[in-house]
């Protein structure tokens, strides 16, 4: 990340990264872990943060040129538990994520899954947030039962008003609470929904 002039830390260990990751909603916020660990994360990025994010995505894009890179990202137990449904009923699943769409699709493809509709970072930014992006895509019509799962408590709380059941995942990066659902329980929930 030489262009921004930021002094990137090389001493960030996995435990520190995972603690910090729970608060990150956008890539520019990583600038505060790697360059400004003593400063609080503001609500909006400054110019330096935006340069950091641009370089972050350029670096990830360069890594992603190697298709094998996506094969190195391990699947969660939850994904493995519902994969049969993703393959057999792809129209019943949608992914809405602040991660970029292309990388999500490549990760799915590396795991043998396709045909899942993905609403990624660009759509969410254009819409002004996850809920508005979901509305724009017609995902909150209430014509069918809607189960929403998110590892960020803020998002599962926001969506609870618009869906039949919003679940806070205990896996991923978000903070946990007493209502966070384990991967095993989430898989059992989806098994029950597909019971014939």
Supply the pLDDT for residue 5: 56
User: Which two structure tokens, joined as six digits, stand for 96?
Assistant: 């809405």
pLDDT band of residue 16 (cuts 50, 70, 90) is confident
**In 3-state terms, what secondary structure has residue 137?**
coil
Are the C-beta atoms of residues 90 and 83 closer than 8 Å to each other?
no
147 C-beta neighbours (distance < 10 Å), count: 15
If you average pLDDT over every residue of the chain, what do you get? 87
Q: Between 2 and 80, whose confidence is greater?
A: 80
Q: What is the pLDDT of residues 19-39, one digit of tens each?
A: 777 777 788 888 888 888 888
Extents of the domains making up the chain: 14-65, 70-193
d(CA 6, CA 48): 8
DSSP-derived secondary structure letter, 138: T
Q: Say which residues have a Cβ less than 8 Å from residue 117's Cβ, sequence separation at least 6.
A: 93, 94, 95, 137
Residue 100 has φ and ψ, to the nearest 5°, of -70, 145
CB atoms within 10 A of CB 111: 17
pLDDT tens per residue across span 102-160: 889 999 999 999 999 999 999 999 999 999 999 999 999 878 899 999 988 889 999 99
Return left, alpha or beta for 3; rule: phi > 0 is left, psi -120 to 50 is alpha, else beta: alpha
């Amino acid at each position: 990340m030489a262009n921004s002039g930021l002094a990137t830390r090389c001493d960030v260990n996995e435990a520190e990264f995972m603690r910090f990751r729970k608060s990150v909603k956008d890539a520019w916020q990583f600038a505060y872990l790697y360059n400004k660990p003593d400063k609080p994360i503001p609500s909006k990025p400054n110019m330096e943060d935006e340069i950091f994010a641009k370089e972050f995505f350029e670096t990830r894009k360069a890594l992603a040129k190697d298709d094998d890179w996506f094969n190195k990202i391990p699947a969660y137990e939850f994904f493995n538990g519902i994969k049969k449904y993703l393959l057999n009923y792809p129209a019943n699943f949608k992914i809405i994520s602040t991660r970029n769409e292309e990388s999500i699709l490549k990760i799915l493809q590396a795991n043998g899954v396709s045909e899942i509709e993905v609403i990624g970072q660009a759509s969410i930014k254009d819409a002004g947030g996850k809920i508005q992006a979901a509305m724009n895509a017609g995902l909150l019509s209430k014509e069918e039962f809607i189960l929403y799962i998110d590892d960020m408590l803020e998002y599962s709380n926001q969506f609870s008003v618009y869906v039949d059941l919003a679940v806070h995942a205990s896996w991923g990066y978000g903070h946990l609470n007493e209502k966070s659902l384990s991967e095993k329980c989430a898989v059992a929930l989806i098994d029950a929904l597909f019971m014939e």
